[in-house]
Structure 1
Amino acid sequence: MEEIRTAKYLVRGDIQLDKADTYEDLGASEKKLKKELEDIRKDLGEFQDTLYAHGKYGVLVCLQGMDTAGKDSLIREVFKDFNVRGVVVHSFKVPTSLELKHDYLWRHYIALPERGKFAVFNRTHYENVLVTKVHPEYILGENLPGIESVDHIDGAFWEKRYQEINAFEEHVAKNGTIIFKFFLHLSKEEQRQRLLRRIELKQKNWKFSPGDLKERKLWDAYQKCYEEALSKTSEDHAPWFVIPADNKEAARVIVASIMLEALKKYKDIEEPELDDEIKANLETFKQELEKET
């Protein structure tokens, strides 16, 4: 199997998605990719145990992508070996009436991971510069001061949002949250095939929505918005990675590998030492328990 080079997927500066790969097989069969993922996710699960014991960092994993990009199945497969109490998944839908009474980052802030845990955002705070940019009328539902019509939503408005998102991520990173952001880069043809499977396979019918076809017609607009968002918000403390998503097995291995490689660099994350007094009396405690038999 080919070596996974993190830098290949890292966004640095402006990106053109039409020049980025959507397919990767890493020179390995599906069986070998699945085995590789099993090994990596076991290591990730062990790391999470140590992260919990250490108790000073949390990990935020952000997943974005067009419909059918494979976010749900990636979450299921990559985090399969985690203690279920160690990872929390948040799937952000259309904002509720309560959420709309707060600023657009509020619902994401309160979902950030506790120290010692992973949180996965299945769709993220970036929806606020993606869906809302393609459909600026949605912004009117936020009832913002000075925004009375879509005519008031100009380039300066979006620049301000990018700055706010960068500041939000910088703040949480400085307070112990390790941030990963993955864009699952799907080709338009692969999306067509996956939508067809949702229609043709009865067990997948529930996933299909006519709205998917309406959004598909706006493919080019979404790609442009993704390019701008990725280019303007990939920072050292919160980097974006563009992951080829046409091959789900390879995409999962790449995402898991990038996380494990980065997390291993945190040499200060280790299980705490027992108190000296407790350590000195471990044999006494052991004998006390053995006497109970």
Structure 2
Amino acid sequence: MKEVDISAYKISQEINIKDLKSYVDFKASEKDIEDELEDTRERLGKLQDTLYAHGKYAVLVCLQGMDAAGKDSLIREVFKDFNARGVVVHSFKVPTDREKRHDYLWRHYIALPERGKFGVFNRTHYENVLVTRVHPTYILGENLPDVHSVEDIDEAFWDKRFEQINTFEKTIAENGTIIFKFFLNLSKDEQKHRQLRRLHKPSKNWKFSAGDLDERDLWDDYMRCYEEILNRTSKGHAPWYNIPADDKPTARLIVASIMLQELKKYQDIKEPELDAKTKARIDEFIARLENE
């Protein structure tokens, strides 16, 4: 298979979300795609070991997408060959009472990966300019000093929030966190198919919530918000990638390939060498163990 062309997915100029692809055809069999993913994730796993030994970078992987976009299965399949200690996944749900007593970014700050590790955000800090923008009454639950009613949540409020998110990402990038942001672009028709499958298949019923259909009714509102997110927050240090998500195997391969290609550009990520004094005594240590 041909190498995935990152430029085809990276958001590097202003976009209209209707022009972004939700499906791409690699002209390859499902087995070929799965074999390529297996090879790519094995190489990612080895790179993560080196990243851990190097200890100077962390990797933050942000996944956003509508319900049924395939976030959970993507995490399972892409990170399957990682050392368990090398990747930590956080699924952000409705903020708890404790989290609401802090600023909205607090729970994301404390979940950031430490140097040498991958952190995966399944839904992210962008929920704070997505769900809360579609449902502004949620902002009232944050108990902010200058917000007393929905009327106080104006465009200046959202401008400030976008600025805060951009600053958050710039700060962590400047301090050694490599950021990947993936928008799993699922078509409305494919979402319908997947939600029907959840309802028809008893083993998948637990994934369904009546509220999912209420959110589906707001599809156009969500797309407008996603378009603004992609246009206002795709930066050189924290780019967004549009991942066609109507076909799950292809989406997984694209995500894994982008991470591998980008991380390979960091030529300084190498396993540290032993200090000269210890290295000079390698033969002595080997003999000591073999002669026990």
TM bin, normalised by shorter chain, reads over 0.9
Contact 1:11 1:242 in 2 (8 A): yes
CA deviation profile, 1:137-184 (whole Å, cap 9, x unmatched): 000000001100000001111111111000000000000000000000
Contact 1:65 1:185 in 2 (8 A): yes
Deviation, structure 1 residue 19: 1.2
- Aligned residue for 1:14? 14
- Aligned residue for 1:97? 97
One-letter amino acid matched to 1:90: H
Q: Quote the Cα distance in structure 1 between the aligned partners of 2:194 and 2:227.
A: 23
One-letter amino acid matched to 2:123: R
CA deviation profile, 1:46-66 (whole Å, cap 9, x unmatched): 000000000000000000000
Q: Quote the Cα distance in structure 2 between the aligned partners of 1:26 and 1:153.
A: 44
- 1:212-291 pair list within 5 angstroms: 212-291=212-291
Deviation, structure 1 residue 244: 0.3
One-letter amino acid matched to 1:220: D
Is there any run of 5+ residues in structure 2 with no aligned partner, and where? none
Worse-matched range after superposition: 6-15 or 59-68: 6-15
- TM-score, with length taken from structure 2: 0.99
- Aligned residue for 2:139? 139
CA deviation profile, 1:237-286 (whole Å, cap 9, x unmatched): 00000000000000000000110000000000000010111111111111
Corresponding residue SS for 1:226: helix
Worse-matched range after superposition: 6-15 or 129-138: 6-15
Deviation, structure 1 residue 2: 4.1
Corresponding residue SS for 1:98: helix
Q: Quote the Cα distance in structure 2 between the aligned partners of 1:24 and 1:204.
A: 26
Corresponding residue SS for 2:97: coil
- Aligned residue for 1:158? 158
RMSD over equivalenced CA pairs, Å: 0.7
Q: Quote the Cα distance in structure 2 between the aligned partners of 1:11 and 1:163.
A: 18
Corresponding residue SS for 2:64: strand
Q: How many residues align?
A: 292
Corresponding residue SS for 2:236: coil
Worse-matched range after superposition: 178-187 or 9-18: 9-18
Q: Quote the Cα distance in structure 1 between the aligned partners of 2:153 and 2:256.
A: 38
Off by >2 Å, runs of 4+ in structure 1: none
Deviation, structure 1 residue 231: 0.5
- TM-score, with length taken from structure 1: 0.99
Is there any run of 5+ residues in structure 1 with no aligned partner, and where? none
